[in-house]
Chain A
Amino acid sequence: MLLDAFDILLTTGFWVAAIRIASPLIFATMGELICERAGVLNLGIEGIMTVGAFTGWFTVYAGGDLWTGVMVAALCGAMFGLLHGFLTVPLGLSQHVTGIGITLLATSLTYFTYRVALSESTSPPKIEPFQPYPVPGLSEIPFLGETLFMQTPLTYLAFITVGLVAWVLYRTPLGLAVRAAGENPVAVEAQGISVTAIRVGAVMVGSALMAIGGAFLTMSAFNSFFFEMINGRGWICIALVVFGSWRPGKALLGAILFAAFDAYQVRLQQVTGGVIPYQIFLMLPYILSIVALIVVARRASYPKALMVPYQKGER
């Protein structure tokens, strides 16, 4: 049995699943990272992912094509980001309370809309989701090709997003302004740049990415929308941002590690064959997130102005 448990790690199927499970987490983690780097905690993440999952899927169900669905999801996510940004940045409301409020609002609005739009159907209708797209050439590489380059286009987009976020944050003046807004907003204002604009903009872009993460679930991983399908993934992403020390590369690594662990527990469940209650396995990802937080907490370097509202002209 021990050998079986180890053998899992050597199968390509396992790693293909791990990358697939990681994809929505990568989008949402990058989204949260952008928000927090600009100084705004976004606890709306869980609800915004729900919105993305529904709107993306529903657009396709209503006749739109898949990429239109992704765009609609991102746009709807950005709208909730605008609301969170407006309430927390210029109005300076508690980021904790507002974020929880956004999650409650986004989730309940989604469920309400679902019931209004699909009052007749008892089981949620299915759509034709994104199909795996083998990258020419690269997918021929043994093992790596199969795990990394025979995924769906949204997974490739997730990895591209990480590179893009890292590049913008560390290599462009805009990224410098975003990071400074989260570290030293007075310095940003001194450059004649509006902290409010940078922060609200960052929350909108971040929320759009969270929504795409949600949309991945209904448009790539599965082909339908279920209630409570986000199931705490948003909260896990918040832990992943801390675990990744607010750096895109490290957060990506964290997401993949986490997803590998998640994929592993499902397979381990089958290997152990019901000796251990299945709930224990399902708990592990959440427990792992808490453990990860404890491990990094001591050396975590929060963006210094995270959760600190900024008022123009205040020192």
Chain B
Amino acid sequence: MRLEPKPAPSMAVTLLYPAMAILATFVIAAILVMIAGAAPLQVFGLVIKGAVGSQFALVETLTRATPLIFTGLAIAVAFRAKLWNIGAEAQLYAGAVMTIILGTGAIAAPAGILIPIIIVGAMTAGALLLLGPAILKTRFGVDEVVTTLLLNFIFLLFVSLLLEGPLKDPMGLGWPQSERVVAEARLPRIIQGKRLHYGFILAIFSAIAVWLIMAKSVLGYEMRAVGHNPEAARFAGIPVNRVLVKTALLSGGLAALAGVSEVAGLKGNLTLDISPGYGYTGIVVAMLALLNPLGVVISAIFVAGIFVGADAMSRSAGVPSYISDVMVATALLSMVTAIMLTRFRIRWR
């Protein structure tokens, strides 16, 4: 078999294959549900009900989508320039650590000043964490996939060290957790009494800002050029290495915002389990959105819905909630296949 480029595909085809990818994901999930001894349609009904079936469910889905929008944006930006940042998990924790350092009383300021300080500080921390692998890539040719992956493990151990040492809550009864951030550092709730907080609004604005950068700015143009063909970009006079470093700073900063949002918006303090792999899931979110920053918002809500819905379903139907991770991974693989099929035709000979 061989692949032949297709002429520019019609709108219908562009949407048909991704739709088939989502369908394939549900078919595979249905098979697994049957293996687990439950009825697929009933289980999917419970997932949808758990994700969007009530005001509580919807608020929970949007709350879960918030960190995924940030990590999804971080990945979308990096992958667009073919900078393989698999370290969003560590950058998220870098942002979370910075939120605790700045937000637990070190700075006495009203919320209008303290929150911007925290955001800038956290973004700097996340950006610096990805700067290392980016420089190792541009200067020494060290593959950033492996370095960012390994940094996830290193940084999580570092957070563990901090939570048992300098950042440990003296009132925490020995648990590895930090003090709570002060009231001025908390992102307020959008609806009183509900968990959804202004981190979600910040995420939406970030998505719009990233879309503007990618679509309208010189940097965005350069990033796309570098991602498309680095040799051609270099030949056209684009400083490829400098663009990659800028991409890394932007990507790391965005991922760190997920940490700010989870600590200052949702949890109030830092523990070792604030992220159940949001950094890795961000890869799926970004790919499902075809690396489009505005699409990231939609795909993050979709993925969050699967997670929240599967949790609720798992409690009532007894199918392990890991089904949501399987679905998300399957969606990733079938989506990249679908994108390929919109561009190429398979010839069997």
B322-A115 in contact (CB<8A): yes
B330-342, CB under 8 A of A: which get 1 and which 0? 1011001100100
Report which residue of A43, A231, A286 has the largest number of chain B beta carbons within 10 angstroms of its beta carbon: A286
Tally the A-B contacts, defined by beta carbons under 8 Å: 133
Residues of B within 8 A of A43 (CB): 145
Per DSSP, are chain B's interface residues mostly helix, strand or loop, or mixed? helix
Residues of A within 8 A of B36 (CB): 112, 116
Report which residue of A87, A108, A231, A300 has the largest number of chain B beta carbons within 10 angstroms of its beta carbon: A108
CA distance A243 to B254 in the complex (A): 32
Q: Identify A108's interface contact among B283, B287, B325, CB under 8 A.
A: B325
**Interface footprint category on A:** 35 or more
A127 at the interface (CB under 8 A from B): no
Report which residue of B147, B151, B157, B287 has the largest number of chain A beta carbons within 10 angstroms of its beta carbon: B157
B142-A294 in contact (CB<8A): yes
B142-A98 in contact (CB<8A): no
Report which residue of B32, B328, B329 has the largest number of chain A beta carbons within 10 angstroms of its beta carbon: B329
Q: Which one of B58-66, B123-131, B159-167 is at the A interface?
A: B159-167
A188 at the interface (CB under 8 A from B): no
Residues of B within 8 A of A232 (CB): 149-150, 152-153
CA distance A235 to B144 in the complex (A): 12
A157 at the interface (CB under 8 A from B): no
A112-B141 in contact (CB<8A): no
A108-B322 in contact (CB<8A): yes
A298-B280 in contact (CB<8A): no
Residues of A within 8 A of B161 (CB): 277, 279-280
A277-B150 in contact (CB<8A): no
A111 at the interface (CB under 8 A from B): yes
A90 at the interface (CB under 8 A from B): yes
B322-A112 in contact (CB<8A): yes
Nearest opposing residue in chain B for A108, CB measure: B325
CB distance from A194 to the nearest CB of B (A): 11
B165-A277 in contact (CB<8A): yes
A279-B157 in contact (CB<8A): yes
Q: From known contacts A283-B154, A297-B140, infer whether A97 and B336 are also in contact, taking CB-CB under 8 Å.
A: yes
Nearest opposing residue in chain B for A46, CB measure: B149
In chain A, positions 259-315 with a C-beta closer than 8 Å to chain B are 277, 279-280, 282-283, 286-287, 289-290, 293-294, 297-298, 300, 311-313
A100-122, CB under 8 A of B: which get 1 and which 0? 11101101110110011001000
A238 at the interface (CB under 8 A from B): yes
Residues of A within 8 A of B320 (CB): 111-112, 115-116, 119
CA distance A58 to B32 in the complex (A): 18
A242 at the interface (CB under 8 A from B): yes
A210 at the interface (CB under 8 A from B): no
Residues of B within 8 A of A87 (CB): 333, 336-337
A93-B149 in contact (CB<8A): no
Q: Identify A98's interface contact among B149, B153, B336, CB under 8 A.
A: B336
Residues of A within 8 A of B328 (CB): 104, 108
Nearest opposing residue in chain A for B155, CB measure: A283
Q: Identify A236's interface contact among B150, B158, B164, B333, CB under 8 A.
A: B150
B1-A279 in contact (CB<8A): no
B196 at the interface (CB under 8 A from A): no
CA distance A92 to B150 in the complex (A): 27
CA distance A83 to B32 in the complex (A): 18
Per DSSP, are chain A's interface residues mostly helix, strand or loop, or mixed? helix
A279-B340 in contact (CB<8A): no
CA distance A170 to B120 in the complex (A): 55
B278 at the interface (CB under 8 A from A): no
A104-B164 in contact (CB<8A): no
Q: From known contacts A115-B320, A232-B153, A282-B157, infer whether A311 and B3 are also in contact, taking CB-CB under 8 Å.
A: yes
Residues of A within 8 A of B332 (CB): 97, 100-101, 104-105
B276-292, CB under 8 A of A: which get 1 and which 0? 00001001100100000
CA distance A290 to B153 in the complex (A): 12
Report which residue of B36, B37, B143 has the largest number of chain A beta carbons within 10 angstroms of its beta carbon: B143
Nearest opposing residue in chain A for B339, CB measure: A93
Residues of A within 8 A of B151 (CB): 286, 290
A101-B150 in contact (CB<8A): no
B337-A91 in contact (CB<8A): yes
In chain A, positions 70-110 with a C-beta closer than 8 Å to chain B are 83, 87, 90-94, 96-98, 100-102, 104-105, 107-109
A112-B146 in contact (CB<8A): no
A297-B141 in contact (CB<8A): yes
CA distance A162 to B140 in the complex (A): 29
CB distance from A129 to the nearest CB of B (A): 26
B3-A101 in contact (CB<8A): no
CB distance from A57 to the nearest CB of B (A): 18
B340-A104 in contact (CB<8A): no
B86 at the interface (CB under 8 A from A): yes
In chain A, positions 117-167 with a C-beta closer than 8 Å to chain B are 119
Q: Identify A283's interface contact among B157, B164, B329, CB under 8 A.
A: B157
Residues of A within 8 A of B153 (CB): 231-232, 235, 283, 286
Residues of B within 8 A of A116 (CB): 35-37, 320
Listed by A's residue number, 28 A-B pairs whose Cβ atoms lie within 8 Å are A83-B333, A90-B1, A98-B333, A101-B284, A102-B333, A104-B325, A107-B325, A112-B320, A115-B322, A116-B36, A116-B320, A232-B153, A235-B149, A238-B145, A277-B164, A277-B165, A279-B157, A279-B160, A279-B164, A282-B157, A283-B154, A286-B153, A289-B146, A290-B142, A293-B136, A298-B141, A311-B2, A313-B2
Interface residues, chain B, with chain A CB atoms under 8 Å away: 1-3, 32, 35-37, 79, 84, 86, 136, 140-143, 145-147, 149-154, 157-158, 160-161, 164-165, 280, 283-284, 287, 318, 320, 322-323, 325-326, 328-330, 332-333, 336-337, 340
Given contacts A105-B333, A279-B164, 7 further A-B contacts (CB under 8 A): A83-B333, A97-B283, A112-B36, A119-B318, A282-B157, A283-B153, A297-B136
Please give me the 5 A-B residue pairs with the lowest Cβ-Cβ distance, nearest first: A108-B325, A115-B320, A105-B329, A104-B329, A279-B161
